[in-house]
């Protein structure tokens, strides 16, 4: 495993990151010319490409390369019956606190965590009310008394059709249910056998009480989720598990979380298995490694075991991969053991048999979801931004140290000055590279200023055409992180470019 262990990074707040993203075109508030809409964001040109690269890299690692995981693309809207069966209608709620005077609305758990610096996940209505009264918590805006409202369901409801034919429906709050309600179709149309997985990436929607921390908690977001189905009696049958079981992961255990100053500890992957199951540990490890290999530092990444009281209604065990943001350790990916809950619920409510014939046991079984990797795209996007961001005092500009595979633009191509002969060569190189990689062309300003612009976009390599290029048919390639430069033949650029992106060659 590799990781980003670069030192000397500068602290940046979530507000400063939001401002930087807007200035550089990564992310904009939705409908800003109409005062915006809380919890919704639009991605500008470099942000759209970065987001796409993150999704493609994760899908490549977790899905495409695996012959036993299939992908689907389900509808954003499903009827009421789906969400009643899944438990979301009754259980997918947050607790609301309202100021009796100024009517400020707040998510109870977040308000308590901010006010008392304690973990408030999993608290009941009565526990929340008791904490507010015993600690005399008051409105942070006007210091008035607070009222605990009934739990608020987080799903966006809608109706499909009109008049008497209208059907109540919901925008999906997760992508997983599309997988479960299509399970029968997949089994009947595809040649699958246990164990196998079904994956989906796409939008989900949650009517958060108080969206905050920029992209971290929003009302519209993207997920990549996998439901990995196994025989219910073979939850720990993982071929090759012994090859990874001794690899180390930073884990915050339930026991540590009960202490006054909890700390994560290094444990082997088999420790995760002992607290959940082997398939769950396997996919936690795969995901953890993916983050490390794409630039997240070991010091900023950990796995946290869910406390029993915070487990979702469907989960038997759950582990979060967390990143150390400026506002604390927060989940960027989850992994739940969902058991047979979802398929049994949908089978019961739909009256359909959601089974599969197991060739080894020669019986039909309802599969067991031993592992559900759930990847938050925007949260990963935010983590990679914070990990990459640095204000370089020597350069006097910001630098985004993205892994080249994730960087929005792989190359910047410049003529040294606005000379027709240099511009001609530079544009030929740009056109050639741009067929394979997102590449920027820039002939405006000093060469130093152009380097700075690409540094702020995270472009790992810049190519400069100078007057020597007219003689030796060579160009200069500059490395973003080290500022080192090499001279290469124009005819060799394609081969060298691929090696640089893949990390097979370094500029030194």
- Shared domain for 380 and 426, answered yes or no, is no
Indicate whether 83 and 111 sit together in one domain: no
Are residues 61 and 107 located together in one domain of the fold? no
CATH number at residue 147: 2.20.28
- Any domain includes 466: yes
Q: Report whether 212 contacts 247 (CB < 8 A).
A: no
82 and 100 assigned to the same domain: no
Sign of CA dihedral 321, 280, 241, 290: negative
* Domain presence at residue 397: no
> Quick one: 133 and 28 in the same domain?
no
Same domain flag for 149 and 159: no
Give the side-chain half-sphere CA count within 13 A for 112. Answer: 24
Q: Are residues 260 and 382 in the same domain?
A: yes
Answer yes or no: is 5 within a domain: no
Specify the number of domains making up the chain: 3
For residue 401, tell me if it sits in a domain: no
- Picking from 472, 446, 450, 473, the residue whose alpha carbon sits closest to that of residue 462 is 450
Domain boundary among 106, 135, 153: 153
Q: Which pLDDT value is given to residue 117?
A: 84
Indicate which CATH number applies to the domain containing 18: 3.30.930.10
Q: CA 289 to CA 212: how far, in whole Å?
A: 28
Residue 7 forms part of a structural domain = no
413 and 488 in a common domain: yes
Domain range spanning residue 103?
A: 93-153
Domain of 416, CATH number, reads 3.40.50.800
237 and 363 both lie in a single domain: yes
Last residue of a domain, one of 354, 388, 422: 388
Q: What's the confidence (pLDDT) of residue 320?
A: 98
Is 74 a member of any domain?
yes
CA-closest candidate to residue 371, choices 178, 506, 229, 216: 229
- Residue 451 forms part of a structural domain: yes
Backbone angles phi, psi at 131, to 5 degrees: -65, -45
DSSP secondary structure, 169-199, as one string = EEE-S-SHHHHHHTHHHHHHHS---SSEEEE
Domain boundary among 327, 356, 388: 388
Instruction: Walk along the chain (508 residues) in steps of 10 and give the mean pLDDT of each run.
Output: 43 95 98 96 98 98 96 98 95 91 91 87 84 94 91 94 92 97 97 96 95 96 98 96 97 94 96 98 98 97 94 91 96 97 97 94 95 98 98 95 98 97 98 97 96 98 98 97 97 96 92
Total residue length of the chain: 508
pTM of the model: 0.94
| 127 located within any domain | yes
Statement to judge: residues 447 and 320 lie in one domain: no
Torsion angle of the four alpha carbons 20, 52, 287, 501, in this order, in degrees rounded to the nearest 10: -90
Question: 230 and 335 share a domain?
Answer: yes
Tokens found for residue 273: 């298995």
Q: Are residues 191 and 121 in the same domain?
A: no
């Amino acid at each position: 495993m590799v990781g980003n262990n670069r030192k000397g990074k500068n602290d940046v707040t979530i507000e400063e990151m939001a401002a930087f993203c807007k200035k550089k075109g990564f992310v904009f508030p939705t409908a800003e010319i109409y005062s915006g809409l809380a919890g919704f964001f639009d991605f500008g040109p470099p942000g759209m490409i970065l987001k796409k690269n993150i999704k493609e890299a994760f899908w490549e690692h977790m899905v495409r390369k695996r012959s036993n995981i299939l992908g689907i693309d389900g509808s954003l809207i499903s009827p009421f019956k789906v969400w009643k069966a899944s438990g979301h209608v009754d259980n997918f709620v947050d607790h609301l606190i309202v100021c009796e005077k100024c009517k400020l609305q707040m998510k109870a758990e977040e308000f308590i965590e901010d006010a008392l610096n304690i973990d408030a996940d999993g608290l009941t209505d009565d526990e929340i009310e008791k904490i507010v009264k015993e600690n005399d918590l008051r409105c942070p805006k006007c210091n008035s008394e607070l009222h605990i409202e009934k739990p608020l369901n987080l799903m966006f409801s809608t109706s499909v059709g009109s008049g008497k034919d209208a059907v109540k429906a919901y925008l999906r709050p997760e992508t997983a249910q599309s997988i479960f309600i299509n399970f029968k179709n997949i089994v009947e149309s595809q040649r699958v056998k246990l164990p196998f997985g079904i994956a989906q990436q796409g939008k989900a929607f949650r009517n958060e009480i108080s969206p905050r921390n920029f992209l971290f908690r929003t009302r519209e977001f993207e997920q990549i989720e996998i439901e990995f189905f196994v025989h219910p009696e073979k939850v720990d049958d993982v071929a090759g598990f012994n090859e990874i079981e001794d690899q180390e992961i930073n884990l915050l255990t339930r026991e540590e979380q009960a202490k006054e100053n909890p700390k994560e500890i290094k444990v082997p992957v088999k420790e995760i298995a002992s607290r959940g199951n082997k398939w769950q540990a396997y996919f936690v490890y795969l995901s953890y490694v993916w983050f490390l290999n794409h630039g997240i530092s070991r010091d900023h990444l950990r796995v946290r075991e869910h406390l029993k009281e915070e487990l979702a209604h469907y989960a038997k065990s759950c582990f979060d991969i967390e990143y150390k943001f400026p506002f604390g350790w927060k989940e960027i990916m989850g992994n739940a053991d969902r058991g047979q809950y979802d398929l049994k619920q949908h089978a019961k409510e739909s009256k359909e048999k959601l089974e599969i014939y197991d060739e080894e046991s020669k019986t039909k079984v309802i599969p067991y979801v031993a592992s559900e990797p759930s990847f938050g795209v925007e949260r990963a996007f935010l983590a990679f931004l914070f990990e990459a961001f640095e204000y370089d005092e020597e350069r006097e500009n910001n630098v985004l140290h993205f892994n080249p595979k994730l960087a929005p633009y792989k190359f910047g191509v410049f003529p040294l000055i606005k000379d027709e002969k240099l511009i001609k060569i530079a544009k030929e190189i740009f056109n050639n590279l741009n067929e394979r990689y997102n590449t920027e062309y820039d002939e405006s300003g000093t060469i130093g200023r152009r380097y700075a612009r690409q540094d702020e976009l995270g472009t790992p390599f810049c190519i400069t055409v100078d007057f020597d290029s007219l003689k030796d048919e060579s160009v200069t390639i500059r490395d973003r992180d080290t500022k080192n430069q090499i001279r290469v033949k124009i005819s060799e650029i394609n081969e060298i470019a691929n090696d640089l992106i893949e990390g097979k060659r370094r500029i030194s």
